[in-house]
Amino acid sequence: MTSRFEPFLGLSAELTAFSHFDLLGTGLAESYLATLDKVVGGEITDALLAAFTALPPPESEARIQAVRTTILGNELLGDVARALIKLWYSGTWFELSSAWTERFGPRPANITFVVSPDAYIEGLLWKAIGAHPAGAKGQGFGSWAFPPKIPAFSSALDFQNLT
C-alpha cells in the first residue's frame, strides 16, 4: 500500500458514507485507487487526494460544506469524485462527460467498464438497499419468501444536496 492509500480510503468513506471497515471489506480499495490512476492519471488523483486532506476537521459543518465546494463543486475534481462514488456503489467506472474531456483532455482509459466480476458482487449498492447481487451471494432456498431488511443508514452528508 502506498502513502496515497489512506487518504484515498478516507475520501472514499467520506463520499460513500460507508466506513473504512466496510470499504476494506469489499477487497477492492486498492483496485479502485489503481482504476482512478489509470483513467484520470496520477496528477488528477493526487489533486483529489490533496483537496481531501486539506478539508476542515471531520464531523464539522465546515467540512460538509468544503466537500461540496472544494471537491464536488470543483470543475476538475467534481466529475471525478462523482465517478468514484458510482464506482464504489456499482463496481463500474462510468465514462466522464464529454464536457469534462473537452475541458481537461481525453483520457484513453476513460470508457465505461466493470472493474472486475468481484466489483459487481461487492458493490456498495447491495449493502445500501439490503439486498444481494443477482446471481451471486445467494441466501439459500426459500429466502425469497422474506422481505429484504434495509439496514439503518446514518451519515453526516446530506445525499440530496451532493449534486
pLDDT in tens, 53-69: 999 988 888 998 999 99
Q: Which domain holds residue 42?
A: 4-134
Domain assignment of residue 140, yes or no: no
163 found inside a domain: no
Question: What integer pLDDT is reported at residue 47 of this predicted model?
Answer: 97
Cα separation, 163 vs 160, whole angstroms: 7
Number of domains in the chain: 1
Average pLDDT of span 143-153: 71
**Which cell numbers hold the place of 78?**
467534481
Q: What's the whole-model pTM score? A: 0.84
Q: Is the pLDDT of residue 157 over 70?
A: no
Q: Does residue 146 form part of some domain?
A: no
Q: Tens of pLDDT along 80-113?
A: 999 999 999 999 999 999 999 999 999 999 999 9
Cα–Cα dist 13/11, whole Å: 5
Q: What are phi and psi of 68, to 5 degrees?
A: -65, -40
Q: Which CA distances in Å does 48 have to 11, 51, 79, 153, 157? A: 9, 5, 11, 26, 18
pLDDT at 9 over 90: yes
**Would you say residue 161 lies in a domain?**
no
Q: Kindly state whether residue 156 falls inside one of the protein's structural domains.
A: no
Backbone angles phi, psi at 92, to 5 degrees: -115, 130
Domain contains 73: yes
Kindly state whether residue 8 falls inside one of the protein's structural domains.
Answer: yes
